[in-house]
């Protein structure tokens, strides 16, 4: 098969991969890296910096992206017009401790929606080196509460179970802040 005759097949294979497997489309096909990812896919990333307990900046396909963790909510530390909340600095510190320094390899896994109304990527965040599910660890440590926003609910039941365990054991914000 000659190159001009093979081109439609190559395009078809790339499009199928993007639709079925969350593979980013190359720019020449109208894709823009992470912005072209389909929900339920995943992508390799590198930590740039931790913003707070449930938001980071990560390098994805050579571009910096704000990433909001799916399924959890930590007390505020940097939200405009909102005072720093009880346990917010500790949740931020725990998130930073779990992720380590800038450049740490991450895997971002997506649910049904790729972005929120603020344009942030919505992801379940994993450390690439050992597969630690960071969202779940923050919940287990009592640094977060569940935040279920449909349709991004793939891990909602597990996160709720971890939240109950942290509450029962009075870990983190559950002992430091009283009954939130």
Mark whether 76 is an active-site residue.
yes
Domain locations along the chain: 1-38, 39-176
Measured in residues, the chain has a length of 180
- Name the pLDDT band for 117 (thresholds 50, 70, 90): very high
Mark whether 65 is an active-site residue.
no
Digit-coded pLDDT (tens) for 5-22: 655 555 555 554 544 454
Mark whether 120 is an active-site residue.
yes
Task: Quote the pLDDT of residue 79.
Answer: 81
Digit-coded pLDDT (tens) for 144-162: 999 999 999 999 999 999 9
Q: Which of 76, 109, 145, 163 is catalytic?
A: 76
Contacts for 92 with CB less than 8 Å, ≥ 6 apart: 50, 52, 53, 74, 77
Instruction: Return d(Cα 70, Cα 54) in angstroms, integer.
Output: 8
CATH architecture, domain defined by 39-176: Beta Barrel (2.40)
Q: Please classify residue 108 by burial: count the beta carbons closer than 10 Å to its beta carbon, then call 0-12 exposed, 13-18 middle and 19+ buried.
A: buried
Instruction: Return d(Cα 17, Cα 105) in angstroms, integer.
Output: 23
Q: Which of 65, 68, 127, 140 is catalytic?
A: 68
Helix (H, G, I), strand (E, B) or coil at 43: strand
Average pLDDT, the chain: 84
- Name the pLDDT band for 25 (thresholds 50, 70, 90): very low
Contacts for 171 with CB less than 8 Å, ≥ 6 apart: 140, 141, 142
Q: Which of 94, 109, 120, 127 is catalytic?
A: 120
Digit-coded pLDDT (tens) for 35-76: 444 567 899 999 999 999 999 999 999 999 999 999 999 988
- Judged against a pLDDT cut of 90, whether residue 86 lies above it is answered with no
Closest by Cα among 34, 45, 42 to 119: 34
Measured at the alpha carbon of residue 166, what is the angle toward residues 151 and 89, in degrees to the nearest 5? 85
Note the pTM of the prediction, 2 decimals. 0.76
């Amino acid at each position: 098969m000659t190159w001009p005759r093979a081109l439609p097949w190559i395009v078809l294979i790339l499009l199928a991969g993007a639709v079925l497997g969350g593979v980013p489309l190359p720019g020449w096909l109208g894709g823009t890296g992470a912005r072209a990812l389909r929900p339920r896919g995943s992508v390799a990333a590198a930590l740039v910096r931790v913003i707070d307990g449930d938001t980071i900046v990560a390098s994805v396909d050579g571009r910096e992206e704000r990433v909001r963790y799916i399924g959890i909510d930590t007390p505020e530390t940097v939200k405009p017009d909102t005072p720093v909340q009880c346990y917010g600095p500790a949740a931020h510190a725990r998130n930073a401790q779990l992720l380590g320094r800038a450049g740490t390899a991450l895997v971002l896994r997506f649910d049904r929606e790729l972005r929120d109304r603020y344009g942030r990527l919505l992801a379940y965040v994993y450390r690439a080196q050992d597969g630690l599910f960071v969202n779940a660890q923050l919940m287990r440590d009592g640094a977060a509460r569940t935040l279920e926003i449909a349709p991004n609910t793939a891990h909602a039941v597990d996160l709720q179970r971890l939240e109950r365990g942290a509450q029962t054991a009075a870990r983190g914000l559950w002992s430091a802040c009283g009954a939130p």
